[in-house]
Amino acid sequence: MKIAPSILSADFAQLKNEIKKIESGGADWVHIDTMDGHFVPNLSFGAPIVKSIRPHTALTLDCHLMVENPENYVKDFADAGADIISFHIESTAHAHRTIQMIRSHEMKAGIVINPATPVSAISEVLGLVDLVLVMTVNPGFGGQSFISETVSKIKELNTLKDDNGWNYEIEVDGGINDETAKVCLEAGATVLVAGSYVYGASNAGEQISKLKQSVK
Ligand code: DX5
Ligand code: ZN
């Protein structure tokens, strides 16, 4: 199981140190939440932050775009040094084209579904993506409670992966703690995003170990 702490809950004035903390704590990826104030009712940060982080870590930069028309940002994120770009199926009419665009910039492509979106909405692209991100909260804010109705979609994606010989990662995002992590593991998740659980405690590194322990 990979752990991808979300820097949305980090201290932005100390970003370099905040990344070092999770790196030494055993994080596998850095999860970067971009919000545009349109697709979600909040603003966060974009490609310039990815560019500033890039020289300070060798960890995979896992960029979660919560923006309308994500295709408009692919080049900027590639130039900034992103490794993975995931975008929401609800955010564009051109999912197939956007996946191709991400791939043509030599990044991995992920597709994201909101809690109210069924797996069937992404069935046509499941064979093309490197990652499927199942939102386990409604996107836009850190620190929300896990929506347990989403667990059946993790299971469904896991079954589809086995049945079709696909090999996408199944990432879960929102309300992850040492309890919900177990539920997601059992359902077939392979990557856990955790924001407030990691950065909300005094020792971020220790929180990662606790999370890893809970899914052993
Ligand atoms: C929510 C973001 C999440 C967020 C998770 O829109 O996509 O990545 O940072 O925060 P927690 O782990 O606190 O629910
Ligand atoms: Zn996220």
160-215 pLDDT, tens per residue?
A: 999 999 999 999 999 999 999 999 999 999 999 999 999 999 999 999 999 999 99
> Partners of 64 in the beta sheet?
33, 86
pLDDT, residue 166, reads 97
Pocket of ligand 1 (CB under 6 A): 6, 8-9, 31, 33, 64, 137, 139-144, 173-176, 193-197
Give pLDDT tens digits for 32-74: 999 999 999 999 999 999 999 999 999 999 999 999 999 999 9
Give pLDDT tens digits for 127-153: 999 999 999 999 999 999 999 999 999
Neighbouring C-beta atoms of residue 58, cutoff 10 Å: 7
86, 173, 184, 197: residue to mutate for ligand 1 pocket, most atoms within 8 A of CB:
173
**36, 62, 83, 173: which is the annotated catalytic residue?**
173
Q: Where are the domains of the chain?
A: 2-214
**What class does CATH assign to 2-214?**
alpha beta
Burial of 3 (0-12, 13-18, 19+ CB in 10 A): buried
Would residue 33 show up in a list of annotated catalytic residues for this protein? yes
The residue length of the chain stands at 216
84, 193, 210: residue to mutate for ligand 1 pocket, most atoms within 8 A of CB:
193
Is there a contact between 157 and 165 (Cβ–Cβ < 8 Å)? no
Instruction: Tell me which DSSP letter residue 44 carries.
Output: -
Would residue 178 show up in a list of annotated catalytic residues for this protein? no
CA angle 109, 112, 117 (to 5 degrees): 150
> Partners of 62 in the beta sheet?
31, 84
- Tell me which ligand sits closest to the C-alpha of residue 7: 1
This prediction has a pTM of 0.98
How far is the centre of ligand 2, averaged over its atoms, from the C-alpha of 138 (Å)? 10
How far is the centre of ligand 1, averaged over its atoms, from the C-alpha of 35 (Å)? 11
